[in-house]
Chain A
């Protein structure tokens, strides 16, 4: 196989010969085309076998020079080249913005638009809740059952395990410090207050964000890719009621209950460390647990749990509904749902703490 290039002052001749299947001529062509030769004659008199690499050589030459003559080309190859130049539609490529201030302006406008989108989504949630309160929400019982089981019983074991380990770590780290003052018995109080007041709710929130939030975004995103959401809209069915309500209510209800289990698991984890490593009896531990336990902290923890559930479900549904229409977008929606839910949860914790302390509740 060969590609012979002969350059004269007047004309450049390229001879294609032999078996030119899978022929890589990138180096030869690069050198040739840099000198912008014209006119060019491509002669395929001795060409025996060809494939699309041969066609791509001719196509590249013809694109870079306007004066190219083809000689002795097999009819199939000639047809293929003609087909390649039969462009039926040119793409529209949007002008790239180079200006720094224009880019900043674009960014601000897009932020403003996404804020508007979030507000409309919240409005949609409240409309759906209003439908529910009036008994006019359009939902399917199967969706409620699925949402409740996904956000309740199926998540329980992982939450218990993670909270148990959290209690265990809290007790271990706390005991080491308290031991220096001979006050390791107060590890029970430390674990109880921490778990009941906030840690139980936070552990529940983080795990549910990773589990249910991501799942909601992925499921709703896939519904969008499969045009199921469009189908609901065109049938005049309220997608908000059907898609958002069961998930939102299920998670807002189940998270406080999961928080209770998380509190209990954390306290038990602390007990394991106290009994096994610091010579504290189980009875003593429980006595200090009951002393440290307060209904106020417990209620605050439960409220946090409920709010986290709402945030996770809202983030999951929001990113699912606003997801693009391809596989990549579904993955991105799931990631954004988890990350946003955790960030909003942290901000919400700060605001809640400030309100609770400010009001002296």
Chain B
């Protein structure tokens, strides 16, 4: 039985009085590639915001590596977040810095490595995402797919144990999307990283997802949890069946 890395208990998410998700319960095990699925507007991104500390839950608890994230002090939360990397939908690279400086930033901030060691780590991270030689490029000199990979290199700069991805394949062509999926699998296998991905890219979900939850916009709660590959043949709900068949509700 592998260890639980993230545990969400009775979570409610609300914007002012408007509760958009209620009674969410799930666990993410170590080295899972955990997919958060659901139609547009079901609250996937809001759930991610809660998981990465950008939005406080209206109710419930989020445990990350055993610690109650929202009951921890600011200092402890910062420490927990150093163990997490986030790849935002548009990369969110700092445009005034080169790609190398973007990746070096968390290393300079949170480690005591010498500048040459940081430089070498930046070289390695860039090489791992297939961007060797792009260290001195600015983000606006890169294509969409390259920006995503550079952002991934920054997200894994500190060797985080948990990596969150917000719709990694959005805006990518099928080949770049497949390459990113392969990269996620390699990182998961070799660095033993737990990966949480928000996605509605069915190919990606079926290729790399080991566990998944489906958020239902109609009931505003979690509709199912399990292995997404089994859902293709035996969908637990009609909404999931429609999701996989790409059908719209009538």
| Chain A residues engaging chain B, CB cutoff 8 angstroms | 22, 24-27, 29-30, 51-53, 55-57, 59-60, 63, 76-77, 79-80, 83-91, 93, 324-329
Contact = CB atoms under 8 A, between A and B. Distances in A.
27 contacts: A24-B113, A26-B114, A26-B116, A26-B117, A26-B120, A52-B191, A53-B113, A55-B124, A56-B121, A56-B123, A60-B123, A63-B123, A76-B191, A79-B186, A79-B190, A83-B127, A83-B186, A83-B190, A86-B130, A87-B130, A90-B133, A91-B137, A93-B133, A326-B139, A327-B95, A327-B96, A329-B95
A29 B114 CA distance: 12
Contact of A60 (B120, B137, B140, B179): B120
A76 B159 contact: no
Interface string B187-203: 00111100000000000
Nearest to A22: B111
B176 to A, nearest CB: 10
Interface string B117-140: 100110111011011111001011
Interface in B221-237: none
Contact of B124 (A29, A56, A79, A88): A56
Contact of A324 (B130, B140, B179, B190): B140
Given A79-B189, A83-B190, A59 B124 contact: yes
A125 B163 CA distance: 50
A51 B159 contact: yes
B128 A84 contact: yes
Contacts of A84: 124, 127-128, 132
Contacts of B156: 52
Interface residues of B, number: 32
A52 B156 CA distance: 9
A55 to B, nearest CB: 6
B36 to A, nearest CB: 26
Most chain A beta-carbon neighbours within 10 Å: one of B112, B116, B125, B190: B190
Most chain A beta-carbon neighbours within 10 Å: one of B123, B124, B131, B134: B124
A52 B125 contact: yes
Contacts of A55: 124
A24 B114 CA distance: 7
A141 B119 CA distance: 54
Contacts of A59: 120, 123-124, 127
A64 B127 CA distance: 15
A86 to B, nearest CB: 7
Contact of B192 (A76, A89, A325): A76
